[in-house]
Amino acid sequence: MSLSSMPDNIIVRLNRVPDPGVLPADIFDLVTEPVPELRSGQILVEILYQAIDAGSRGMLDSAAGYVLTVPPGDRLPASASIGRVFSSLSDQYGEGVLVRLFGGTRQRYQRIDPSRCVGLQVLEPDVGEPLHYLGILGITGFTAWLGITDICRPVPGETVLISVAAGAVGSAAGQFAKALGARVVGIAGGATKCQYVRDQFGFDDCVDYKAADFTERLAQACPQGVNSYFENVGGAVQRAAFALLRDFGRVAMCGQVAQYNGGGEVPGANLMTVVNRQLEVRGFLAHVHYHRLPEFMAQVGQWYREGKLVQPCNVVQGLENLHEAINSLVEGRNIGQQVHQLTASR
């Protein structure tokens, strides 16, 4: 492809540190720049869809304590993308092929060196719903699988408790725990979400943390206590969940979404419970374990092909609407995987 026929790139940059809460429309700048020139072996991918995660908000403000913070003026990292190869100097990835990749930034065209790109996979027409490769078959599912199989380690009959149960990671974690034979109880915001978690994700029960009698209802939903807890949120929900853990219970510390929306740390569990009940509380970062992706795909891919897994995707269109795609998480409007479609459907 000659340089004259190359499109312009549009790159998203953070305008300033946002105030706590929902993001205003001018929080990101869309900057037009030339697409980078390809070197031997590289491909240029036109990005079509990108995952939106709880961390997409957390990374905008250091007060969130998230694993990374984007300084104003910088590009925004994306956890995973789906795109079409626009031009190619690679023997392996031809023009027009649909691919999924991990990492990269929020921009219209991404230059990729396939030998150095994690999670790069050609999406054939028969591999399943492409958007699931951003979610339950992507980093989201991988995160849930690590927390469940490495740390929660449920055996049939045990109770696993999962916070942010209607979200992308939480809904996947619950379905994996069910597939392993556990009794699974979720925690989510609102009666409608809780019903969805029970009816569609197949959890045995789900409790609304916004209800006035949440703590009592949670105890009723876990009459034998909890053997393991998949922790996504922090704050009052964490406090109630830790109180139900049985002796030698396991806690997978996956995230603290209650502090990602600005405003800083939120007080959580009474940590004397960790001592008194001899709990195992372990944090983890999915990207550190990428070498285990084949193991993940072998187990979760099998459950997926058997039709055991469900993941709705909530799509927001338009580069100029990225703030809205993130606000959907901040305001709890999403069920399942939140997805940003960079342009309107063609």
Residues that bind ligand NAP (CB under 6 A): 53-55, 140, 143, 164, 166-170, 188-189, 193, 232-233, 254-255, 257-258, 261, 284-286, 329-330, 332, 334, 338
Q: Least distance in Å: CB of 22 to ligand NAP?
A: 11
Q: Which is closer to ligand NAP, CB of 189 or CB of 268?
A: 189
Nearer to ligand NAP, 148 or 166 (CB): 166
Q: Closer to ligand NAP at the Cβ: 88 or 338?
A: 338
For ligand NAP, give the closer residue by CB, 154 or 255.
255
| Complex with ligand NAP: residue 179 or 258, whichever CB lies closer | 258
- Spatial separation of the C-alpha atoms in residues 61 and 333, rounded to whole Å: 21
Structure tokens at 247: 């002796």
CB 158 to ligand NAP: min, Å: 22
**Closest distance of CB 13 from ligand NAP, Å:** 22
Tokens of 69: 């913070």
Q: Which residues lie below 8 Å from residue 340, measured CB to CB, with a gap of 6+?
A: 49, 50, 51, 52, 106, 315, 316, 321, 322, 325
Q: Least separation, in Å, of the C-beta of 285 and ligand NAP?
A: 4
Cβ 96 to ligand NAP shortest distance, Å: 30
